[in-house]
Structure 1
Amino acid sequence: MNKYPHQIVPVILCGGSGTRLWPLSRAGFPKQFLVFSGRSSLFQLAITRVNSLVAEDIAVGETLIVTGEEHRFLALDQLREIPEVSTTLLLEPVGRNTAPALTLAALKAVENGEDPILVVTPADQTVMDGTTFTQTLQQSVRLAADGSIVILGITPDKPETGYGYIKHKGAQGINSEFLVSQFVEKPDLAAAERYLASGDYTWNSGMFVLKASTWLKALAHFRPAILIATQQAFSQKTVDAQFVRPDQVAFTNIPSDSVDCAVLEKCPESAFTIKMVPLNVGWNDLGAWDALCEVSAQDANGNVTHGDTLMTNTSNTFIHASSRLVGTVGVSNLIVVETADAILVADKGQSQHVKKIVSQLVTLKRSEHILPRKVHRPWGWYDSIDEGARFKVKRIQVKPGASLSLQSHQQRAEHWVVVKGTAEVICGDKAITLTENQSTYIPLGELHRLRNPGAIPLEIIEVQSGSYLGEDDIERFDDSYGRL
């Protein structure tokens, strides 16, 4: 007998932009990659949790991560900190919601003729009780082995209007499961109060467990157009190390839909058995700043602070200081979030509406919704510390052994000063080595490259000057990260 009759494949859905956690979360650095406590990001914590499900009858296979092409290096960088986990990244060229994302993972999981159980979770949730999480997910794996779809429901403790609900029916089974009767969209307050009082509803966690073949059969039954289009994109994929890229044109033609709308909501009273297992683990999806307050340690006055803060006569207030001292006097029930290029001040009860500020930024064609001032790249990061008419100043850090692309700029020149480490510089037909306090000049239009040959991070100050200083003024001739 197989020692591990239940073979599982963790699937991490790592899309979304987290607009309601602006200005920390940006389109180019969404909330799942942020660290809110400790040393691990939400993304890293999600991967660690689902890889903890090993048991005498459960084996955990390679983790499949579905994320956007633009976030591949953020994900890869954070995966290097958990080298014990084997991963493959399925890169979406455009967002098509969670149903196509899960279909990509299912097609990858069955590619070699296997049919594992998929344990699917978003990358941006918090769980306080890891032990109970593991036990509950192990129960769900055993339930899904017979072809059932098992969704994790959070027992509500308040009339929440920001979550979808699952209505269950009948008696609880031996693995704590209920049959699902109905899925309900986000209710108004009166309906949420009725749901809470009835005891027949749980919050929809967005986590579920099912065999890969079960998902593909259900999708073929309820939304065959999504399955056919995703199969076409996957069949024309390219593979580059850990990256799997479906065909861009074919993927763009996939109908956009969520897992819930495409399949799960249609399963009750159908040929596909869907069950709910309650998950009571201190769960939160961090959908807005007030949700982050709930999972953070508070002082005697109900305040939550991160970073350099000072308070007088302040209560029930959340303050996150990223780069400067933030002081508050005589305020209550506020959200205050400071970053190097933007500050948010919001009423605590209206933090769900922060996305309206992001919408205004998009309308005004401003850049603060896209990237923070400090931008991470596969070779390190840069921080745009000052700029004005015809100049920009950056602080740049390059990882040991890493290099930027061989490139040129048509509208700007650059001056580099090394402040830490050693730099190898190619400029035209010259190659030079610079150490601390040494500098060089890169003329406009000159072919150049920066590399760190040392064992410690290289830091330089770059001063750009020219008529146009946008990030798109770059032509790459050679690149280690596939960005040509």
Structure 2
Amino acid sequence: MDKVDAIAAATNVETTLSNSATVDSPPLVQVILAGGSGTRLWPVSREQFPKQLIDVIGNQTLLQATMGRMAGFEGAWDIAADPVIVCGAEHYFATYEQAREIGVNARIIVEPARRDTAPALTLAALSAYAENDDAILVAMPADHAIANLEALHQAIDLAASHAHKGAIVTLGVPPERPDTGFGYIRLGGALRDGARHIERFVEKPAAELAAQYVSSGNYWWNSGIFVVRASVWLTVIEQFQPDMHAACVHAWRNAKRTDECVMPEAGEFLNSPSDSIDYAVMEQLGKRGSNFTGVVVPLEAGWSDLGSWDAVWQAMEKDECGNASNGRVLFEGSSATYARSQGGRLLACVGTHNLVVVETDDAVLVADRSHVQDVKTLVSRIRSEKSPEADAHRKVRRPWGFYDSIDHGDRFQVKRIVVMPGGRLSLQMHHHRAEHWVVVSGTALVTRGEEQFLLGENESTFIPLGVCHRLENPGRVPLQIIEVQSGAYLGEDDIVRFDDKYGRCG
């Protein structure tokens, strides 16, 4: 029986908890949960390119900043060399590239479908249990900001000492203000080292209730960071969520594995319920006479979940009038305003107060900072109207490079396509459109039906409707082409793939 089979078969909670404390100083494994969509940071964050992949604050993306969050850890525990990242299939290539860009050799688990954070952590626990001698998982969202890493490390060190003994530990943030955008943790009895027992988790409250929580001193914000032994997590999931446990174990056992990632078997994984760590486990502790202990450790490290534009404003440096900005922005007589120019144009704010102004290539958001939580509702309306701005940017990244939709109209669309050196689009055909390609720079290797030929700068070709074709960059510099599509239907779903180096067929 291998390790996955052994933990999958574990049904005796007492035995599992006892065994979990017998391994001396197990390693810490950083688990990055990168499956969110971040709709409240629209129009910058979108379904196909969410906030964790964007440089919301600073020069690195939020995902890259999270990857480096355990660097320099000097606690009592060894850190496993490679973090585990759990992400969706639609974000895998961007996640892989961002890890490689900063020299991180991450182990990436690609979810076949979104099932929220509890199944994601279960997949990570199966990986860590099999490969790291029942490691202590340090699970953190990919889209948060933390200013003081030393304070974070101290909190994790303390949390790991409780997790080593079998507790399920979360980091709680003593609240600075009433906030309706965060979940809360009601504190139980105090422990000698400053940690507290967890009495219960509380969902995002209304404003009046949030004020009561903060004034009582009995509640901390829920940071979404959890520290737990892999075996303990798997056992508690089996007890509280047996269908989820079974689906994840079967999907993991039948996963496809490559040097870059693990892809759990889709059919099995789709049998898992969709649920968060909070609902699936943390709210169940103590309700069913379980033997599991919930502990919360204080985190005072300048934490923010960056769940709204107001939270971004809160986390940023501001001028003497309380304004914060990204990109080409000018303020004149403005105060308490956040402005971001994403598309490179000059964004001028005159006399604004308490506003959020965000500009991208294809959308502009203007919102009162006190109403930024309603952006999520706005995005739902945009999606219900089947407008593309809800899900994709004008510039769409692909594993081979990107394309930028320059113009479109009745029966035509114009794109700028950039293929990186060595990049190759899939061998494909379209039922409803023809394509004209003009090479602007670089060299294109074109497959068209039975033909294969090279195109240089200022040369062009025509791809008739229904003909198999492929575009490749055999050169050492990026290939840039202009593509003009014409036809009755120009949607991205009009693609039949026959061969693809990135595994997107079938």
Name the TM tier (shorter chain): over 0.9
SS at match of 2:197: strand
SS at match of 2:470: strand
Written as runs of structure 1 = structure 2, the 5 A alignment for 1:334-353 is: 334-353=355-374
Written as runs of structure 1 = structure 2, the 5 A alignment for 1:464-479 is: 464-479=485-500
Give the CA deviation at 1:350. Answer: 0.0
Written as runs of structure 1 = structure 2, the 5 A alignment for 1:338-377 is: 338-377=359-398
After superposition, the C-alpha distances for 1:366-393 in whole angstroms (9 at most, x for unaligned) are 2211111100000000000111122111
Q: Tell me the residue number matched to 2:416.
A: 395
Written as runs of structure 1 = structure 2, the 5 A alignment for 1:434-453 is: 434-453=455-474
TM-score by length of 2: 0.90
Are 1:53 and 1:60, in contact at CA under 8 Å, matched by a contact in 2? Answer: no
Asked whether 1:275 is paired with 2:298, we answer no
Look up the equivalent residue of 2:105 and give its one-letter code: S
Look up the equivalent residue of 1:102 and give its one-letter code: L
Are 1:416 and 1:463, in contact at CA under 8 Å, matched by a contact in 2? Answer: yes
After superposition, the C-alpha distances for 1:319-367 in whole angstroms (9 at most, x for unaligned) are 1112233233332221111111111111111000001111112221222
Q: Tell me the residue number matched to 2:163.
A: 144
Give the CA deviation at 1:439. Answer: 2.5
- Aligned equivalents of 1:212, 1:243: Cα separation in 2: 20
Q: Tell me the residue number matched to 2:12.
A: none
Asked whether 1:411 is paired with 2:460, we answer no
Greater shift, 455-464 or 228-237, is seen at 228-237
Look up the equivalent residue of 1:42 and give its one-letter code: L
Written as runs of structure 1 = structure 2, the 5 A alignment for 1:242-281 is: 242-268=260-286, 270-281=290-301
Q: Tell me the residue number matched to 2:10.
A: none
Decide which of 180, 185, 192 is 2:203's aligned counterpart.
185
Q: How many residues are aligned here?
A: 481
Look up the equivalent residue of 1:350 and give its one-letter code: H
Are 1:50 and 1:119, in contact at CA under 8 Å, matched by a contact in 2? Answer: no
- Aligned equivalents of 2:182, 2:334: Cα separation in 1: 30
Q: Which consecutive residues of structure 2, in runs of 5 or more, have no partner in the other structure?
A: 1-21
Greater shift, 291-300 or 184-193, is seen at 184-193
Written as runs of structure 1 = structure 2, the 5 A alignment for 1:98-109 is: 98-109=117-128
Greater shift, 281-290 or 435-444, is seen at 435-444
Decide which of 426, 444, 455 is 1:423's aligned counterpart.
444
Are 1:32 and 1:43, in contact at CA under 8 Å, matched by a contact in 2? Answer: yes
- Aligned equivalents of 1:47, 1:440: Cα separation in 2: 43
Q: Tell me the residue number matched to 2:41.
A: 21
- Aligned equivalents of 2:411, 2:241: Cα separation in 1: 53
Q: Which consecutive residues of structure 1, in runs of 5 or more, have no partner in the other structure?
A: none
Decide which of 308, 317, 321 is 2:341's aligned counterpart.
321
Look up the equivalent residue of 2:109 and give its one-letter code: L
SS at match of 2:248: helix
Look up the equivalent residue of 2:43 and give its one-letter code: P
Give the CA deviation at 1:413. Answer: 2.1
Greater shift, 140-149 or 325-334, is seen at 325-334
SS at match of 2:92: helix
SS at match of 1:80: helix
Greater shift, 135-144 or 363-372, is seen at 135-144
Decide which of 241, 256, 262 is 1:223's aligned counterpart.
241
Decide which of 71, 82, 97 is 1:77's aligned counterpart.
97
Give the CA deviation at 1:61. Answer: 4.2
Give the CA deviation at 1:60. Answer: 1.7
Q: Tell me the residue number matched to 2:130.
A: 111
- Aligned equivalents of 1:17, 1:304: Cα separation in 2: 24
- Aligned equivalents of 1:57, 1:345: Cα separation in 2: 47
- Residues 194 and 221 (structure 1 numbering): CA distance in 2 closer, same or farther, change over 3 Å? same
- Aligned equivalents of 2:242, 2:24: Cα separation in 1: 33
Q: Tell me the residue number matched to 2:113.
A: 94
After superposition, the C-alpha distances for 1:241-271 in whole angstroms (9 at most, x for unaligned) are 3232222222222122211111112224742
Q: Tell me the residue number matched to 1:8.
A: 28
Are 2:254 and 2:265, in contact at CA under 8 Å, matched by a contact in 1? Answer: yes
Decide which of 183, 193, 197 is 1:164's aligned counterpart.
183
- Aligned equivalents of 1:182, 1:56: Cα separation in 2: 29
Kindly report the root-mean-square deviation, in angstroms, between the aligned alpha carbons of the 2 structures: 2.1
Look up the equivalent residue of 2:383 and give its one-letter code: V
Give the CA deviation at 1:234. Answer: 2.3
Q: Tell me the residue number matched to 1:40.
A: 60
Are 2:26 and 2:133, in contact at CA under 8 Å, matched by a contact in 1? Answer: no
- Aligned equivalents of 2:236, 2:24: Cα separation in 1: 26
SS at match of 2:79: strand
Q: Tell me the residue number matched to 1:481.
A: 502
Moved over 3 A (4+): 50-57, 169-172
Look up the equivalent residue of 1:129 and give its one-letter code: N
Look up the equivalent residue of 2:174 and give its one-letter code: T
Asked whether 1:463 is paired with 2:484, we answer yes
TM-score by length of 1: 0.94
Give the CA deviation at 1:428. Answer: 2.9
